[in-house]
Structures are given as structure tokens and as C-alpha cells.
Amino acid sequence: MTPGPGFDLAVALLFAVPGPTNALVAIGGARGGARALPALVGAALIGFIAAVAALIGLAGPYVAAAPALGLALRVLCALLLARSAWRLWRTAGAGTTPRDPASPAAVLATTLVNPKALIFAFAIFPPLGGVTEAAEVFARFAGLAAVGMTLWGLAGAALGRGATPRLGAATIDRAGAAVLAAFSVVVVAMGLAG
């Protein structure tokens, strides 16, 4: 089934909501400006496409058959998000380092466990028929995701240019860490409630 405008709207709205990947892309934009965005957005796109495809194709049937597996996946996601938050908090204001929590590698790792991938896979994506249809749906998703994450990165770059001297890089990094930590708590709470 080819997705309609509802798909586009749902994807755009979910990318408008702050989340772990958006937070890291914004922090990366604040640190590196617009020139950092192609690598960050590219890493996030790879992560989202891989995560959604794996959830739909591999985990979907098992999660449907064993709800406890869904809870275990959410707890694992929450732990990984909490780890990213801790690393970002600990290195706040340090700028880019080889183990930078807002690097393309960190964006990819965070995106692979982003709870939004669960929502995309199990609530927003339509049932996928053949390869051609799946490719069309993923291409539309990738285009919308790229726009959403680029906007987050540009907002971060603008914040970095205008606010870093007043707020300080450490404050921006710690705000991002707080967002990641909050998402890890929300993911666990949603898993326990559902």
C-alpha cells in the first residue's frame, strides 16, 4: 500500500518532536555549525532506516508473539540512551573528541536504539508489500527525515552561534544530556505501562 498524506504528516510531526537523535544533531550543529550537518544527518538516516527495517522485518513477528520481548527491547533502548546522556554530561563543553557523544558515530548508535523507530515501524509505516513498494515508502521516509533533522541541526547551529558565548558550550551539552536522560525514563515508563 502506498502511503498517503497522513504518512507524510505523521513522519513530519514525529520529527518535529524533540528526541535523542534530534538532540544530538542539534548539539552537533551547535558545535560544528552547518558544515557538520551532512555527516550527522547521514548517520541518522542510516540509523533510522536500518532500525525501522529491522524492526519491521525481523523483530515485528517476534514482538507480536512475545510482548515481553518488546519490553526488553525498550529497556535496552533506555539503558543505551542513559549511557549516551551520561557521556554527554561528563564531556559537556569539551568540544569534539574521538569519543564525542555528538559525533556521526554517536548519532548512528543513538538512532539505532531511538524509541521513535518503534513508533515508525509499528504505528506509522503502512503494511509493506513488495520490494518496489517498500523502497518507495523508505525513500519518502528518508526525504522527510532528512528535512526534519536538518532543521534541528540548523537550529542547533543558530543556537551555537548566538548563545554559546552567553550560555556556554557546557550548558548546551548538559541540556542535550538532560533530554536524552528524560527520553530514557519515558521509554521505560511506556514499556512498563504498555
Q: What is the pLDDT of residue 4?
A: 76
Average pLDDT over residues 7-31: 84
Q: Tens digit of pLDDT for each residue in 115-147?
A: 788 878 877 788 787 888 889 999 999 999 999
Q: Name the band, by pLDDT with cuts 50, 70 and 90, for residue 57.
A: confident
Judged against a pLDDT cut of 90, whether residue 51 lies above it is answered with yes
Q: Which amino acid is it at 29? A: G
In this predicted structure, the answer to whether residue 98 has a pLDDT above a threshold of 50 is no
Lowest mean pLDDT of 65-74, 75-84, 183-192, name the range: 183-192
Cα separations in angstroms, 17 against 11, 22, 94: 10, 8, 27
Count how many domains the chain has.
1
Highest mean pLDDT among 82-86, 109-113, 182-186: 109-113
- Owner of C-alpha cell 514525529: 14
- Give SS3 for 66: coil
The 10s digit of each residue's pLDDT in 148-159 is: 999 999 988 888
Could you give the C-alpha distances from 131 to 4, 127, 154, in angstroms and in order? Answer: 18, 12, 34
C-alpha distances out from residue 84 to 162, 180, 191, Å: 26, 7, 20
Task: Give the distance between the most distant pair of CA atoms in the chain.
Answer: 53
Cell readout for 117 is: 523507530
What does the alpha-carbon distance between residue 70 and residue 67 come to, in Å, rounded to a whole number? 5
Burial of 66 (0-12, 13-18, 19+ CB in 10 A): exposed
State the residue range of the domain holding 40.
5-193
Residue 100 burial (CB < 10 Å; 0-12/13-18/19+)? buried
Which amino acid is residue 173, in one-letter code? D
pLDDT value for 92: 67
Residues 6+ apart with CB under 8 A from 50: 112
pLDDT-derived band at 15, boundaries 50, 70, 90: confident
Q: Is the pLDDT of residue 8 over 60?
A: yes
| Residue 109 cell numbers, joined | 548508535
Mean pLDDT along residues 100-114: 85
Q: Contact at 8 Å (CB) between 27 and 159?
A: no
